[in-house]
Structure 1
Amino acid sequence: MVFYLQLLWFLVNVAIFISTFIKYNGGQEFFYLRKLIGVSLPFARASAACLNLNCMIVLLPVCRNLISYLRGSCWYCKRNVRRQLDKSMSLHKASAYLICIQTGIHYFAHVFNFERFIHAWDTEGDSPGLRSALSSLPTLSNATWLNPIRKSGANPILELLVCVPGVTGVVITLALLVIVSSSMEVIRRSYFEVFWYTHHLFIVFYIALVTHGLGGLVRHQTNTEEHDPEYCQHHYQDWGHIPQCPDPQFAAGGAQTWKWVLVSILLYLTEIGIRLFRGQQYVKVIKVVQHPSRVIELQMHKPMFITRPGQYIFLQCPSISRLEWHPFTLTSAPHEDYFSVHIRIVGDWTSALSTACIAGQETRQFPRIAVDGPFGTASEDVPRYQAAILIGAGIGVTPFASILKDIWYQFSARPLEMKLKKIYFFWLCRDTHAFEWFGALLKQLEDTMTETNHPNFLEYHIHLTSGWSQSQALSIVSHEGEAEDVLTGLRQKTQYGRPNWEHVFRDVAQVHAGTRIGVFFCGPKSLSSTLHALSNEHSSDDLTSTQFVFNEENF
């Protein structure tokens, strides 16, 4: 489904490019303009049309409240509809890539255009008399001119920098280069603040984009019925003197981009308004818990704050930065009287927040916290399957904390009403210390399942992929015969090394033949690709048979 939507979006871009190219390459009203600048005209205009489309689309996926509202209103829709909304950031990135490509085409096409506008004054080359006559049309109040370069021998750089399209074009290109370069994975992961602040150059980008067409450099002939350019090009010396060839009249088409992006900009401004309103609402920090592996837990309360398991929120701490909002998955369940997030300390912002909150724990004077959200994710759909495979890598386990809590709460209260009958949970860790904070939840679930005689509802597998010392290895071997795992205290023993995913999918497919099985993952991209491929490989071509539906956390 995702592939077909992406293909449709790509084909729409191709169709707009081709149709616009044909219009400017063959349209009679652009005949004389093509005589001045040639084939670079249709390339410039076709790329501009695609830019209008993608600059309209690229803002929509970052309107989180809009996406969350649509997702919530589609709660009873088919899964595929909701899954497309979960992949909205993929559309944002794909649109950005196309914006870069089309900007490159548009930029270089106009570089050629400026050169050819200047060379149109030359007396050599193809149709020098016609090109000179077109360039010499007077700049009068009736706007009959065609060539924006009004003198021969002009400097192209200076001409570029004295017109609105030239200046705004440079601003658009530079802003886009900074935005895209700072959006690279290595920058986003290691220097999030750099990514965050430079990404807000999109404001400059859109201001320049909307005003880019105000100069009206691309002009079309308005009197083609009285002045046939294909005939009159051979009689340019007699323009205005013979009835068949009155003086050609030209006019600019006017700025068009604002018509494309207006709705997107208004939606985004509404998004900002909602965020500012929520930022002023009171949030009480109840408790701060320090966990191993540089993880802190914030427990908070906010009036009328309603959540669903698997959702995420954005946090802001004004004392650290009034502009930065960072996403975190909720680790609390809806039935709890607080909401919580687990935050791994990996950067300047999280370090400052951790220091402020831990200091506040001692004095009971916590820093002010603003919350935006909650927002929906794919993990909300776990209860909609008969069986589910939950896979978390490292801190990527956080989305499943609230899900496991809530599902078990519902299962304990009304097990016969639940569609979900089996959960396979896999947690991959590099560090033994990481087991301490999440292991407590698994221990509680394990004890409760045993007490209520439902020991098989949750089947979990904990894998330590690295990080054990020789002494730990000897201790593990010496306690192998004990009932509880030496590292986690759970009855399910920790396994060492990575799971054999091929065997996992094959075994689950055999146990749940003929059902739809949800696969939910939060972790690194490399493992995501592997799991996605295995989900497709082990799904039957017959839609009524076993189907693995892959879902990935995106926020």
Structure 2
Amino acid sequence: MALILLPVCRNTITWLRSRTRLGAAVPFNDNINFHKVVAGGVAVGVALHAVTHLTCDFPRLLHASAAAYEPMKAYFGQRRIPDYWWFVKGVEGVTGVIMVVLMAVAYTLAHPWFRRGRLSEGNPLRRLSGFNMFWYSHHLFVIVYVAFVVHGVCLYINRTWYKQTTWMYLAIPILLYAGERLLRALRSHGLTTVRIEKVALYPGNVIAIHMSKPHGFSYKSGQYIYVNCGEVSPFEW
């Protein structure tokens, strides 16, 4: 969950690729596919985590003998747990369900059929397609991360605060990502402005955009820019 933010931290990736030797082991130049691989790993981890609870932990608690349940009374109360619903309606269950549902939405709308609007005209799901829906659904990760921290803090058995380490794993990646977004916002609101001087469309749907060079700008090999067309999407760069 923490690693999935790194591939979308563009400035950090550029710095790591150009200033360190990590590029030999980490696919910085293929950051989107790296992001997808990490997302796949998260999905597998979530599935294993949920299946383990549903098929192992919860049944053992529900069907434990009186002697086996005795050490658990300090954590689950004197009365026996009646059914699965007891787990679902608790803080851990609610936050777990929220995370799974929101991640399922984000995964689904990230599929090329939805993200690139490839659904047919008559498909009722077409209204959920397009980059904007993909962008909004992916930013549900804010709620997912909040639920993740709460899920990790409100543990059934481990009540010692310094052993509830979920927030520790997330702190640095979240601060890094927040810094990236702040820097991107500052750059996109007039700190450096350019003037579009010419736009040309060439064969093969290739668009050439000629811009004025900012004062004091010195081009270096490998540099690139992100362009936003508000008429297409205010969020796509």
| Band of TM-score, shorter chain | 0.7 to 0.9
| Structure 1 residues 202 and 88: CA distance shift in structure 2, 3 A | same
* TM-score calculated relative to the size of structure 2: 0.78
Higher strand fraction: Structure 1 or Structure 2? 1
- Look up the match of 1:312: 224
Are 2:16 and 1:70 equivalent residues in the alignment?
yes
Higher helix fraction: Structure 1 or Structure 2? 2
Q: Contact 2:131/2:236 (CA < 8 Å) preserved in 1?
A: no
Are 2:142 and 1:215 equivalent residues in the alignment?
no
Write out aligned runs for 1:120-199 (5 A): 120=64, 128-135=65-72, 137=73, 145-146=74-75, 148=76, 151-152=79-80, 154-161=82-89, 163-190=90-117, 191-199=130-138
What residue ranges of structure 1 are gaps of 5+ in the alignment?
A: 1-54, 121-127, 138-144, 220-250, 327-555
- Look up the match of 1:202: 141
Q: How far apart, in 2, do the equivalents of 1:179 and 1:261 lie? A: 19
Q: Contact 1:216/1:252 (CA < 8 Å) preserved in 2?
A: no
Write out aligned runs for 1:449-468 (5 A): none
Q: How far apart, in 2, do the equivalents of 1:84 and 1:117 lie? A: 44
User: Following TM superposition, by how much is the alpha carbon of 1:189 offset from its aligned partner in structure 2, in angstroms?
Assistant: 3.7
Q: Which moved more, 1:258-267 or 1:104-113?
A: 104-113
Q: How far apart, in 2, do the equivalents of 1:152 and 1:320 lie? A: 57
Q: How far apart, in 1, do the equivalents of 2:77 and 2:229 lie? A: 53
- Look up the match of 1:267: 176
| Structure 1 residues 60 and 83: CA distance shift in structure 2, 3 A | closer
Write out aligned runs for 1:216-235 (5 A): 216-219=155-158
For residue 5 of structure 2, what is the amino acid of its counterpart? L
Q: How far apart, in 2, do the equivalents of 1:100 and 1:83 lie? A: 21
Q: How far apart, in 2, do the equivalents of 1:118 and 1:165 lie? A: 17
For residue 151 of structure 2, what is the amino acid of its counterpart? H
What per-residue deviation string (whole Å, max 9, x for no partner) do you get for residues 194-243 of structure 1?
Answer: 33222212222211111112212133xxxxxxxxxxxxxxxxxxxxxxxx
Q: How far apart, in 1, do the equivalents of 2:54 and 2:217 lie? A: 54
User: Following TM superposition, by how much is the alpha carbon of 1:129 offset from its aligned partner in structure 2, in angstroms?
Assistant: 3.0
What residue ranges of structure 2 are gaps of 5+ in the alignment?
A: 118-129
What per-residue deviation string (whole Å, max 9, x for no partner) do you get for residues 501-549 of structure 1?
Answer: xxxxxxxxxxxxxxxxxxxxxxxxxxxxxxxxxxxxxxxxxxxxxxxxx
- Look up the match of 1:301: 212
For residue 228 of structure 2, what is the amino acid of its counterpart? Q
Q: Contact 1:210/1:255 (CA < 8 Å) preserved in 2?
A: no
Q: How far apart, in 2, do the equivalents of 1:61 and 1:277 lie? A: 21
Q: How far apart, in 2, do the equivalents of 1:108 and 1:212 lie? A: 16
For residue 206 of structure 1, what is the amino acid of its counterpart? Y
- Look up the match of 2:39: 96
Q: How far apart, in 2, do the equivalents of 1:86 and 1:294 lie? A: 24
| Structure 1 residues 88 and 295: CA distance shift in structure 2, 3 A | closer
Are 2:3 and 1:57 equivalent residues in the alignment?
yes
Q: How far apart, in 1, do the equivalents of 2:50 and 2:41 lie? A: 14
The alignment of Structure 1 onto Structure 2 pairs a total of residues equal to 220
| Structure 1 residues 89 and 175: CA distance shift in structure 2, 3 A | same
* Structure 1 segments (4+ residues) deviating >6 Å: none
Q: Contact 1:284/1:301 (CA < 8 Å) preserved in 2?
A: yes
Q: Contact 2:153/2:166 (CA < 8 Å) preserved in 1?
A: no
Provide the alpha-carbon RMSD of the alignment: 2.9
User: Following TM superposition, by how much is the alpha carbon of 1:311 offset from its aligned partner in structure 2, in angstroms?
Assistant: 4.0
Q: Contact 1:213/1:255 (CA < 8 Å) preserved in 2?
A: yes
Q: How far apart, in 2, do the equivalents of 1:157 and 1:189 lie? A: 39
For residue 118 of structure 1, what is the amino acid of its counterpart? L
Q: Contact 2:8/2:32 (CA < 8 Å) preserved in 1?
A: yes
Q: Contact 1:218/1:252 (CA < 8 Å) preserved in 2?
A: no
For residue 160 of structure 1, what is the amino acid of its counterpart? V
User: Following TM superposition, by how much is the alpha carbon of 1:293 offset from its aligned partner in structure 2, in angstroms?
Assistant: 5.2
Pick from 61, 72, 97: which aligns with 1:117? Answer: 61
Q: Contact 1:117/1:149 (CA < 8 Å) preserved in 2?
A: no
For residue 269 of structure 1, what is the amino acid of its counterpart? A
User: Identity of aligned pairs, percent?
Assistant: 30
Q: Contact 2:131/2:233 (CA < 8 Å) preserved in 1?
A: no
